[in-house]
Structure formats: structure tokens, C-alpha cells
Structure 1
Amino acid sequence: MLPVARDAACVSGIEQPRATYSGVIAMKVSSVLRSILLVLFVAAFCQAQSDGGPRGRGGPRDRERRANPFGPPRPAQILTRIENELPLKSDQTPKAKELFDTYEATVKALREEYRGANEDAEKWKGFREEMQAARAAGDQEKVREILERMRAARTEQDARLAPVRQQVEGAQKNLKDGMLALLAENQKPGFERIWEEEFGGKRRARVPVADPKVLKSVIDDMKGLSGQQKEKIEAAFKTYFENTRGEDVDKAVKAAQTRRLSEDVFSVLDEEQGREAQKLIRERSRKGSKSETPDDNVPPPSNP
């Protein structure tokens, strides 16, 4: 069809210009740049307003508490993580579920009570609309004036939320105390770590989740590990084997234990050792992908 159309144009004495590749590319680049700038502007604005108002001046943990005064949004998922990572024993699970159900019901009631007694959503929506209009008009004076009103509104909101936060913190304390009373001593360190990551705002370590067989071979070949590092890594592998022993181990438990093993091992390594370990894991995982060996065949840790 294209040649026919072009020939018809030539017959009429008009040669239709062809878009060059450089012209097309320039148009596409211009379009992409405009899109990127728009996305960056919107992302920056939304980040500043994502918790319903301007960010506080505290650290990440303080900002997280301000953004969500009612704690983690999905307590049931935290319980599942605890069940699989510690792991919980069969007689501990019902009591743990009861504790988490009580906590979730308490927080839900507080959230509904607060939502029914304030108009924050409409207020912040109005601020956002005013801010968008002021920025579109390039009125910096108006932008500063709106920001001042937003800060004042945030201070007022924090004052109204203070009693709610105290009640949520009380519910969290009851949950934590109940869980600690339920757990055995060897389960408590793992629980404390999960609690800090889920309730305390601590970032969960981002490490490669390696097949235990590959991870063991990498650690065995690494040079320069101190005696203390070796002891901690040995303990991590011992915990992994204790929690995954037997053919009836649930797949979710096995997966959680594998991740926990990687996190525990990498937490012992320094930055340079961690990079070396990641490199070796990638290389050996690629080599072993053609003939995988079940991680049950990982040689058990030797006695220190």
C-alpha cells in the first residue's frame, strides 16, 4: 500500500517528504523527556504528600510512624512470617493467632473511631488542589503560604493523633509481651528481629537468597573470616538444619528458613566480604543450574 500511495503522489507532481530516522528519534526523545520530567515532578509532589501532609524532620522511623500511626497494615502476614521463620511449634500457633487477632481488632476499632471523628482527608485534598494550581501558575508566594498552612494543619493533626498513637503502642506492647511469654528462649532473638523490621521501622536486609548448598560452598572457600564470624555462620547453618530437618517440613517454612539463613550469614560479613560472596553465589548458581542438587544434601556443619 505504501508504494502505491507514494506513486500516486508523484503522479500529481508532489513528492511527499519522508520522515528521516533522525527526525523520528528526535521526536521520540523529546516526548520521552517530557514524560520523564512530568513523572519526576508528580513523584516528588506525591512523595511529599503521601502520608496526607508534609514530611516530618525526623529519620525514616519517625516518618513511618507519622505516615501510619496505626502500625503495619497487615498483621496476619507478620504472623505468617513468624510462623515460618522461627518457626512456631504446633501448640504455639493457636495462641499466637489469638494474640494477633486481638491486636488487629483493637487497632481496627481505633482506626474506625478516628476516621469517623475527623475531616483530614478532605482538608489534605484541598491543600493538594491548591498546591497544584499555584505551581501551575508559577505563584511561588502562594506555594509558600500553602506550605505554612499545611505545616500548621500537620501540627494540629499530630496533637489529635497523640492519644490514638498511645493506644496503638499499648496494643503493640501487649502483643509483644504475649508473644515473648509464649516463645522459647531460642525463638526470641528471631522474633525480636522480625519485630524491629515490621513494627520498629528497621529496613529488612536486602541480600541474595542463595541455595544453602551454594552458600555453604562459598563460605567454605572465603578467606579472611575471623573466628567470631565463623562461629556465627556455623550457628546460622545449625539453626537452618534444625528447623528444616525431616521430610514433612512445609515448603513455606523451608523457603523462609532459606531466606533467614542468607540474611544471617550476610549480616556477619563486612561490606567487601558481602560483595565477594554475592559474586561467587551468582557464578556458582549459574554453573549449578544445569544439575541442581537438593539443598537437603548440604553437608551439615562441623562441630566447632
Structure 2
Amino acid sequence: MPSSKALLCAALAASVLLGAPTAEARFGKRSSSSGSKGSGGSRGDNGPRPSRDNDSPRTHRATPIGVARDDNDSDDAPRRRRRAVVRRPLTEVIVAGAILAAPPPRPRVLPVTRVTRERHEPVPLLVRLGVQGQRLGDGGAMGLFMAMEGRRLGLDTRVTGIALPADDGSDDVDRITLLSAHATAALWAGPRGRMRLEAGVTSAHAPDIIFVGPSLGASVEACIGRSPVDLEARVHAVPFPHRQVDAQAGLAVHLGTLNLRGGWRALYLNDAGHVDGVVHEDAFGGPYLGVGLAF
């Protein structure tokens, strides 16, 4: 029969085991909300209650990520939020570390294409002014001209006053005024010369009638060698209502902005009988001299 000292030690050990509080579950486990004290059987159950691991709180076995848990492990105790540790394969960790340690990619250098804009030089504009006098048969003429010309196109205007002795033997003077305005287009233009086609209108103011008609013509300028001397020639014709032909050829010396010119001019006029039914015509020719400015 055990002694009293042995019985006292057994009683103290039992009281410690029975009175110790329930410990909280470890990380990854669910804690029990109720202890094992009290009866676990339902009312009316007369049979003996089977033992469940000495009535200790039932623990939950951790379920691996991606593996379904057995329904028998479920109970109606409150659940705590679980946090899962995702374990990466070693190769994946090595690859991620290599990516982080790798130097950043160098920016891609694209070839730079330089866009050059065409510079449009301003169209040069040449302006010429001049006065010209000439001898025409027994009379004389004085003319003024102004011309403006760009790279290809231009405008030429001229006025010529002619004074002739009367053909009836009197001391009177017959005066004729010729006006012309032509648009010019250069067929060939270069540093050594220019060739133009001209078209416009011409009027002839005679003592008893005024004629206005279309006029066509051509003109050319060409440098002679490396000298400042140019060869100049021009011709204009009016087919109707009267007949008129005006032609001249000569030389021009360019002294900076000052130009000196001289040559020969021929003029033919025919009224085609529009005055009194009788055809009157005159033909003149003579030298001319002129001075002008070009800028």
C-alpha cells in the first residue's frame, strides 16, 4: 500500500494537470475555443462516450498549399486567418537575382536623320530705265522705256514720239506717238544672255486717226566675250488694224548701273486705207543713241 507521501505527490500532479490553462495553438494551427471539461456527449446518450486522446483539445494538422483538406477535420470553432509561405524553386530565385543584378539595358540609339529645308532664294528683279533719241529720215524721234524682269517673266513698256515734216510742202510738222506694253517670257536665261518672247498691245496716234492692235515680238541680249559689251536686238509687229513693224539692233555697254547703247532702228507704218480709203505708208530708218540705268 503506497505511503502518504506518495499519495500527496500524485494528488498535486493531478491538480496541476487538471488546472493548467489551455495553451494557444502554434503558428499555422487553429486554437480551441472550449476546453475538455464537462461532458462531451449529447443529451439522451446513455452509452459510454468514447475517449478522444484523453479529452485533450483536438489540434488541426496543417494542410499544404494546393492540397484539399479532409472534411473530417472541420469543426465549428472560429478560424484564424492563416498566412501561407510560398516557397519558390531555387532556380527561379537564382534567375530573379540575376535579373536584379544585371545592368539596365542601354537605350537604343536611333539614327538621326537631318532634314534640310530648301532655301528659296528671292527672285531677282531687274529694273531698267532709259531714254533714247534717233534720226528718222528727215525727222527725229525720242523714246522712253521702262522694263521690269524677274527670273523668267517681265514687263516692258515703251513710248516713242516722232516728229516729221508735212508731206504737203508746208512748214507744218506731223507728229505720231507710239505706245506699247508687252509681257515678256524668257525662253533661255543665263549669266551670258537672255532670249525672250513678247506679247502685248500697241497703239499708234496719228494726226487724224488712232489705232490700237495686238503686238507680238521677240528680243535677245548676249554678252560678247568677257567684255561689258552686250549685243541687243528686238523686233515687234502689229498685224491689224494697221500694219506696224519696229526693229532695232545695237550694242550696250554696262558701266555698273549706267548703260550706254547705240545702234540702228527701222520703223514701218501702214494705215491700210482706214483714213480716206487711200493707203498711206511710211518707212524710216536711222541710228539711235541712248542712256539708261539698270538696278
Q: Name the TM-score class by shorter chain.
A: under 0.3
Larger Rg: 2
* TM-score scaled by length of structure 1: 0.15
By percentage of residues, which structure has more helix? 1
* TM-score scaled by length of structure 2: 0.16
